[in-house]
Each structure stands twice: as structure tokens, then as C-alpha cells.
Amino acid sequence: MASPPDAALTDYERLREENIRRNDAILASLRRKASELSAAIQSSCSSKRPKKQPPPPGATPIPVVLRRSLRTRGLPPSTSSSSAAASPPAPESPPEAPRSTRLSSSLASAILAAASASPAAPPPVRDDGFDAGAELVLRPSHVRRVMPDRILSVRVLPLVDRTVVAAGNKLGNVGFWDVDGGAAAGEEDGDGAGGVFEYLPHRGPVGAIVSHPATPQKVIYSCCYEGEICLMDLEKENFNMIYLADYPIFSLCQAPNSPSSLYLAEGNDLKHFDERMGKVSATWNSHDNRINSIDFHPENTYMLATSSTDGTAGMWDLRNMKEKKPESLKVLEHGKSVQSAYFSPSGRMVATTSLDDTVRIFSVDDFDNSSIMKHNNKTGRWLSTFKAIWGWNDTDLFIGNMARAIDIILVDLNGSSLLAMNNARLESEHMTAIPGRFSAHPYKVGHLACASSGGKVFLWTRA
């Protein structure tokens, strides 16, 4: 049917027809442009890319550069990439120091000469009338940096006429300070300057150093947290590893009547190692956590005391201990970790040091008879913990103080009465660090060695 002539359309209808024709023209133009664009895209996709030609023989291949972050390259954070690119690579960590196990001939000969002067090995000296608070002084010449870093163990060797201090630090070093001799100051390698000798027989922190007066030719045993026990053989002038454990060894003690019988704290187990047999002969699971100290009764050679991080100190009789379930004579409970438990020179008392800020003294005849002393034992993470030791009588206990001093605790056991009180404090301008570990000379009354976390050893002597 033919459309009606335009004359028959109204103005509105004519305007509508014009809009329709204009829109159709616009749509046709858009369709044409879309077709042209689609054809161009298909043409570019269908064109083949040139194949990559292999490099000619003998040509150096171009290395592939991988992007790496600043953290993986060991560089510090930087706000600009240009500064990071210009920064030098981080230095490599220094190689592990080689072990030093060969002793100085002059040190070995000096100790052997002093040991041979008293082959009978007399018992340790006692002096009940000694007043440590009034008689002890620290001279400037009796301060020496024996080794770097924190000292964990110190021992005055049992030599009657000579003072030699041995110390072990957290790096595995064992150092010696020959106080009387100043030996070997002229050695070519410099070892022995100022009487100080330093060696590296261990791979980890040295937990204990022990010596026995009955064996002058084999004076020193030492243990470390890497499970090693080393013997310092003075006749052969070297350190020898005699035992390697699977777990850390935190403490070490020699049997009083058998120097080659070693009792060691391997983790939370107490073990007996016989050097002559070269093996562990007995193991006792004596604590629920690491053992921090082992000490024998001075007269009853079957009785020993242990302290542990499990918050207890144990008294043991070796004759009645079973390996699987050892029964203790007494368990001394504390509020926190017990760092030490040591018998008095007579064996009548035992003193413990705990992180519950107490020093406790117990009567061995009646453990219920005790005395508690409050003492700040919070040394923090970077200092060696305090361990109170007895001096040359049953009266004086020595322990470090956070004020760079030494506290002397006076103990009085009179029948069923046991009292303890702060007696005196040793202070000196030459004490430049906090003393953590102590050792008393067994044959020279008034020779008290203490060691700090900075590697220094201070020797207090009689005025």
C-alpha cells in the first residue's frame, strides 16, 4: 500500500520522518566504520611473526636479568630505585673462626710447675675467722679483660702457690689469666700478653669449667651448650674433645674421690661419664627441665645437689638412684627457676639462688630448718644470672649485685636455729661491670675472682 503524499502528513509526522532518516544515516556510518576496524584487526592478527633466529656459533648469550627485591639482595629500604641500584651489595657474614686448641708452652709449663710443687693435693683451706667485708679490696692491677663477650663460667685453678683464673664465654672461648706470673709476654704470636691466654676449643657457650687438685697433668675439663666436653691436657699442650652429646650440656662436676668420673647435666638428664671407659655409664632423668648446677657434698661423696629451671633443687644419694625413676632425698621447691645449689665448706648447709628473687639456705640435717633472703636476681637477658657461692667458711655467701658490687650474706647455723642476713657490700671504683659468676681460691683465703658479661675478671684480695 503506497504511502500517502506528504501533503497529507501533519507537521508532527513530517518531523518524525526526518528524525528517522537522520538516525538511519548515523547508524549506517557507524556500521561501516566498525566493519573497517574489524577487517584491520583480523589482518594484523593473521599476519605471521618472523621466527627468532638462533645466535651464530661462538656468540656470547645475553644473560637473563631477574628482578630481585631489596630484601633478597640484602640492601636497606630506599625511596628511590636509583639510590638502591647504586648501593653496594651487603657484605657477607664473616666466616666462622677456626678452633684454637693448641696451648701455649709457657702457660702449660707454669701450671705444671705450680702443680708439682704440692703433689699431695691438700684439702681446701678453711678460715672461720676471716672477715670478708672488712679485709677484701680490689686493686687496679687485679682487673683484666680475659676475653670478649659474656663470661658464663669462671674457676680459680687449685694451685697452692699460684693464682690462675680460667673462664669460658658464650662464644666458646676458654681464657686463662696467670695473675702471679704474667707469663709469656714475649711470645711471637702475642698470646700471653699481660698474663692472658685465650683459646677456642668449643663451638658454643661454655657452661662450666672444673678442675681437680689430684690431677695436675690434666687440670681442666670444660663443657658447652653444643654438647661437647673438652679436656685440657697440659702435658700434651692441647685441648681434646672426649665426649659429644646430642643435647646441650649446661653443667659439669667431678666426683671428689675420682677425678676421671664426670657428672654432667645433659638437658634435664643427669649423666655419669667415665673418661677411662670413654662412655656414659648411667643416666638419670632427675628434673623436668634443664639442670643448671651440680655439686658434691665435701665429705659424703655419694651425696650431690642439683638445681633446675623447673623451679626445684634436688638432693640425691647416688647409691640409691635408679635410672628410670630416681628418688631424691629431698626436693626443695622454689617459685621460679633455680640457678644454683651449692654445699657449704663443711657440708652442713646448702645454698640456692632462684629467679624468684631469693637466696635460700637449708640445713642438710633438717631441710625444714631454712632461712630465706630476699635478693634482686633479675639480671635480664644480656647478663649472666647470679649464683651465690660459699667462701672459706660456713659464714659468708658471695653474690653479685646490680649496682656493680658484691653482696656478702652472713649465715649462722646454731643447733636448730638458722639465720641469714645482709652483712656487707664490696664496692670499688675499679669494679666497672656487674659481677655474675664467682670462684674462690681453694688454697688462698681472700682471693675471690668474679667475672662480668663484658669479658672482664676482677680479683679481690686481702688488703
CATH for 333: 2.130.10.10
Question: Is there a domain that residue 138 lies in?
Answer: yes
Question: What's the number of domains the chain is made of?
Answer: 1
Question: Is there a domain that residue 346 lies in?
Answer: yes
* pLDDT (0 to 100) of residue 9: 77
Range of lowest pLDDT (104-113, 151-160, 390-399) = 104-113
Question: Is there a domain that residue 10 lies in?
Answer: no
| Range(s) of the domain holding residue 213 | 128-462
Q: Which three cell numbers stand for residue 223?
A: 663443657
* pLDDT (0 to 100) of residue 117: 76
Measured from the Cβ of residue 418, the count of other Cβ atoms closer than 10 Å reads 18
* CB-CB contact of 188 with 87 (8 Å): no
User: How would residue 458 be classed by pLDDT, with cut points 50, 70 and 90?
Assistant: very high
pTM comes to: 0.77
User: How would residue 323 be classed by pLDDT, with cut points 50, 70 and 90?
Assistant: confident
Question: Is there a domain that residue 123 lies in?
Answer: no
pLDDT at 102 over 80: yes
CA neighbor of 405 nearest in space, from 371, 429, 373:
429
User: How would residue 405 be classed by pLDDT, with cut points 50, 70 and 90?
Assistant: very high
User: How would residue 119 be classed by pLDDT, with cut points 50, 70 and 90?
Assistant: low
- For the chain, give the percent of residues with pLDDT over 70: 83
Question: Is there a domain that residue 220 lies in?
Answer: yes
Measured from the Cβ of residue 118, the count of other Cβ atoms closer than 10 Å reads 15
Burial 139-161 (b: 16+ CB within 10 A, else e): eeebbbebbeebbbbbbbbbbbe
Burial class (CB in 10 A: 0-12, 13-18, 19+), 53: exposed
Question: Is there a domain that residue 6 lies in?
Answer: no
* CB-CB contact of 349 with 371 (8 Å): no
Question: Is there a domain that residue 77 lies in?
Answer: no
Tell me which of 124 and 297 has the higher pLDDT.
297
The position carrying cell 651449692 is: 342
Q: Which three cell numbers stand for residue 383?
A: 647478663
- What's the mean pLDDT in 251-278? 93
- What's the mean pLDDT in 358-371? 96
Question: Is there a domain that residue 108 lies in?
Answer: no
- Please give the Cα distance from 431 to 378 (Å, whole number): 19
